Amino acid sequence: MITFDTNLLVYAHRQDCQFHARAKECIRSTAEGKEAWSIPWPCVHEFLAVVTSPRVFKTPTPLDAALAQVSAWMKSPTLTLLGEEPDTYWEVFCRIARKAGISGGKVHDARVVALATLHGIDELMSADRDFSRFPELKIRNPL
């Protein structure tokens, strides 16, 4: 199963992003396909924070439109949203964080990797090179 990072969600949603068409097609074909796919909950929240931010976009996405986008993705019958499991998540996160020696903003990346690892995901779709520090996942940039 694959999972999607925030940047691809943003690119797919925002028509003013350079990689919009390719990211939109990648997510559309995945969402409409028969293979299971996933999005980590932290990436959903980060997507909402980014697309609605006037610091990021001159004309940010209105909150209702951003929420509607997430709701549309959630209608895919093959989508799983990845969340923490109380008994096992923390141990997996600590192992990954220590191994990668992360700090600051990389805590979010380690959280995404920990969630993917915990849920048996082996491939992360992302245009973010920072994930290369985490050997637990195969990183594929579809752009």
When divided into structural domains, the chain yields a total of 1
Residue 96 lies in a domain: no
- Residue 62 near residue 52, CB atoms below 8 Å: yes
Is 123 exposed, middle or buried (CB count within 10 Å of its CB: 0-12, 13-18, 19+)?
middle
Residue 56 lies in a domain: yes
Residue 90 lies in a domain: no
Percent of the chain with pLDDT over 90: 87
Residue 10 lies in a domain: yes
Taking the C-alpha atoms of residue 98 and residue 31, their distance in angstroms, rounded to an integer, is: 34
- Residue 31 near residue 37, CB atoms below 8 Å: yes
Residue 112 lies in a domain: no
Residue 48, both tokens = 């909402």
Average pLDDT over the chain reads 94
Residue 18 lies in a domain: yes
Residue 136, pLDDT score: 86
Band of pLDDT at residue 25, cut at 50, 70 and 90: very high
Residue 99 lies in a domain: no
Q: Are strands 37-40 and 138-140 parallel, antiparallel or unpaired?
A: unpaired
Q: Residue 36: give the domain boundaries.
A: 2-82+122-140
Question: Model confidence over 74-132: pLDDT tens digits?
Answer: 999 999 999 998 889 999 999 999 999 999 989 999 999 999 999 999 899 999 888 88
Taking the C-alpha atoms of residue 109 and residue 42, their distance in angstroms, rounded to an integer, is: 10
Residue 64 lies in a domain: yes
CATH number, domain containing residue 47: 3.40.50.1010
Tokens 């050997």 correspond to: 135
Band of pLDDT at residue 18, cut at 50, 70 and 90: very high
Taking the C-alpha atoms of residue 141 and residue 16, their distance in angstroms, rounded to an integer, is: 19
Instruction: Kindly state the DSSP code that residue 23 receives in the 8-state scheme.
Output: H
Tokens 């779709």 correspond to: 125
The pLDDT of 130-136, averaged and rounded, is 87
